[in-house]
A and B are shown apart, each in its own frame.
Chain A
Amino acid sequence: AQKVTQAQTEISVVEKEDVTLDCVYETRDTTYYLFWYKQPPSGELVFLIRRNSFDEQNEISGRYSWNFQKSTSSFNFTITASQVVDSAVYFCALSEGGGSEKLVFGKGTKLTVNP
């Protein structure tokens, strides 16, 4: 069965600090896809990144970076020099590579960036 664990329920930082959001996943499939979504206070879900299980390269997009490590089944998300606008709930999600397109979400990490 697939499962995503985001152990950090809430994180609070001061602006300009770096922050890492943890994500650990479980799956028996060798082909799978990992995602991060952002849910700002307005409530919509905004896609941030997708990774497939065959691509372990880390990715950087501006102040955002992602570290995918199959050896530890982790897909962590780092925000560098955080800003108040980064305040949101962040969800990690997993989709297995078989017939189902089902996304299984973690419980989310609420990030608060204080000025």
Chain B
Amino acid sequence: DAGVIQSPRHEVTEMGQEVTLRCKPISGHNSLFWYRQTMMRGLELLIYFNNNVPIDDSGMPEDRFSAKMPNASFSTLKIQPSEPRDSAVYFCASSPLGVARGQGRTEAFFGQGTRLTVV
């Protein structure tokens, strides 16, 4: 398997522009996560999906951020309009387990990340 695939790897955009980050999870995984990494806040969960349904979006900073998962093999994270404080590395991760208690928990497999710079 190719692992979790994110695109683009690097994105430089001007303040106010729309940015779309893309993720292809590992085939067969039913949970997908978007994390953001900054020096100040470290790694923080933005949103995660289970079976394409958003389960926890409490980490989404504000209305400028939105995420979709139209099918099991694709997800997007969109920022509109972008601001310099959105500059960070955005990671997508997937996991094969669902939300039911008792199923245990396995590790999340991370993509290479997208380094976003908003100028």
Contacts and interface: CB of A to CB of B under 8 A. Distances in A.
Interface stretch (B61-69, B78-86, B99-107): B99-107
A99 interface: yes
A44 B110 contact: yes
Contact of B105 (A37, A52, A108): A52
A44 B4 CA distance: 11
A45 interface: yes
Interface of B: 31, 33, 35, 42-45, 48, 50, 55-56, 89, 91, 93, 95, 97, 99-101, 104-113, 115
Given A45-B91, A97-B101, A98-B101, A103 B108 contact: yes
Contacts of B108: 47, 101, 103
Contacts of B113: 43-45
A106 to B, nearest CB: 8
Contact of A43 (B44, B89, B105): B89
B67 to A, nearest CB: 15
A107 B105 CA distance: 22
Contacts of A64: none
Given A43-B89, A44-B112, A100-B99, A108 B42 contact: yes
A87 interface: no
Contacts of A45: 91, 93, 110, 113
Scoring B33, B43, B55, B89 by chain A CB atoms within 10 A of each residue's CB, the highest score goes to: B43
Contacts of A106: 42
Contacts of B93: 45
A50 B101 contact: no
Given A43-B112, A105-B42, A100 B105 contact: no
Closest 9 CB pairs of A and B: A45-B110, A105-B43, A33-B105, A47-B107, A107-B42, A99-B99, A102-B45, A44-B112, A50-B107
Given A101-B50, A105-B43, 15 more contacts: A37-B110, A44-B111, A44-B112, A45-B93, A47-B110, A50-B107, A95-B105, A98-B101, A100-B56, A100-B99, A101-B48, A101-B95, A102-B56, A106-B42, A107-B42
